[in-house]
Each structure stands twice: as structure tokens, then as C-alpha cells.
Chain A
């Protein structure tokens, strides 16, 4: 069955960096776009980033543009989110989600259990 499992969350200070990983299984990873979505404590969902199946196109929410980078290694069935210059307002549970297709304009059909990132001094 389809599974995506996030790891790498933790507690960091403002200005620090952190890299999240998302290991996928149960589907042909190289054929699907992948996304990151976050949810601040007690708040709603916020789409963060998208990366096409072949890595040729990426897009970010304005709130993270220039600080976060999404990447993937199709040989390892893994997508990453490199988060730099972290701010208190980046505190959230970060979900990895599979796209319903290879490019941009698809539903997010399978989600991981989330990785908690806490940014605090």
C-alpha cells in the first residue's frame, strides 16, 4: 500500500536550519510530484512546496520562498525539505503528500503522519 513517512523534525532556535525527509513506498515514486504542507498548532493547513516527478519544476509559498528548498532522490524514493533561516512562525507539523500526477495541477492523495518542527529561543 502507499506510504509516505516523514522524519527529521525537532526543536531548533530561530535562524537555524533543519532538513526533513520523506520516504515513500508502495507506488512508482519517480512518476509522481511530491508536496509539503504544514499546519501550525491549532491552525489550518498551509501548502508549502511542490516538486515535479523529474525535479524539473518547483514552486513555493511566498511565506517560505528563498528560505526553503524542496528536492528529491528518485533512486532512494525520498523527498526532502531543506529549511534555512527558520523563524518562530515556521513552527508547525510538516506533512509530506503525494501528488495525483507527475506535474502541478493534481490532488494530494496520500499524506504522511507529519513531522513536528518547533522553532523557539
Chain B
């Protein structure tokens, strides 16, 4: 089973800062890595698919990069509504797995 680790676990930022979240896979997953945003008491929403493809309707301040084992989610000029937990998810190898999540707080 592929293990995904995320860093940091928690990120406290002020509006308009840039947020960078990393996800590392325990083995090569090519670009089978996706990013989700989950706000409290809501279901997850897809932000970035296949490492760098923006999902329909997602604001352009969200972007993703990486391949192989190292991936990054970047939120440029973060806004108050971006307060959420962010998860990476790999669909390259069964069983699929999620990272533990990164909680982003907006001060």
C-alpha cells in the first residue's frame, strides 16, 4: 500500500499570503495524485487532478505540481474562504490512499 505523507500538518497564514502544502508518496505514483479541500461539516471538493490539472470551477489561485513521489499544492494570495483541511489522494495503485491532511487557518 502506498503511504502519503503531508507537510505541514497545520498552517496558519494571513490573507494574501501564499500557502504551499507538500505531499510525498512512499513510491512512484507518476501523476496519479489529486488534491481535495474539505471545509468543516462539508464533503471534500476536488481542486487539482492528476497532479497539475485544475478542476472545473476551481479558482485560479489554486495550482498543483509534481510527479513521481513529490507533489505540491500552492494557494496564491490566500483568501479567508480558503480555511479548510487539504488532502492529497493517490489513484495510481490499489488500494487507493489519502494523505493525513493539512489544516489551513486564516488569521
* Chain A contacts to B: CB under 8 angstroms: 35, 37, 44-47, 50, 59-62, 95, 100, 104-114
Contacts and interface: CB of A to CB of B under 8 A. Distances in A.
B5 to A, nearest CB: 12
A107 B94 contact: no
A106 B91 contact: yes
Contacts of A45: 36, 38, 44, 87, 89, 98, 101
A44 B49 contact: no
B28 to A, nearest CB: 14
Interface string B68-107: 0000000000000000000101011011111111000000
A59 B98 CA distance: 16
19 contacts: A44-B99, A45-B87, A46-B98, A47-B95, A47-B96, A47-B97, A95-B43, A95-B44, A100-B49, A105-B32, A105-B91, A107-B49, A108-B46, A108-B89, A108-B91, A109-B55, A112-B43, A113-B43, A114-B43
A114 B46 CA distance: 15
Given A44-B87, A45-B89, A109 B46 contact: yes
Contacts of A44: 87, 98-101
Contacts, number: 57
Complex A-B, nearest 3 residue pairs according to Cβ-Cβ distance, in ascending order: A107-B49, A47-B96, A45-B98
Contacts of A112: 43
Contacts of B55: 109
Contacts of B49: 100, 107, 109
Given A37-B44, A45-B89, 16 more contacts: A35-B96, A44-B100, A44-B101, A45-B98, A46-B98, A47-B89, A47-B96, A50-B96, A60-B95, A95-B43, A105-B32, A107-B49, A107-B91, A108-B89, A109-B49, A111-B45
B84 to A, nearest CB: 13
Given A45-B87, A112-B43, A107 B50 contact: yes
A104 to B, nearest CB: 6
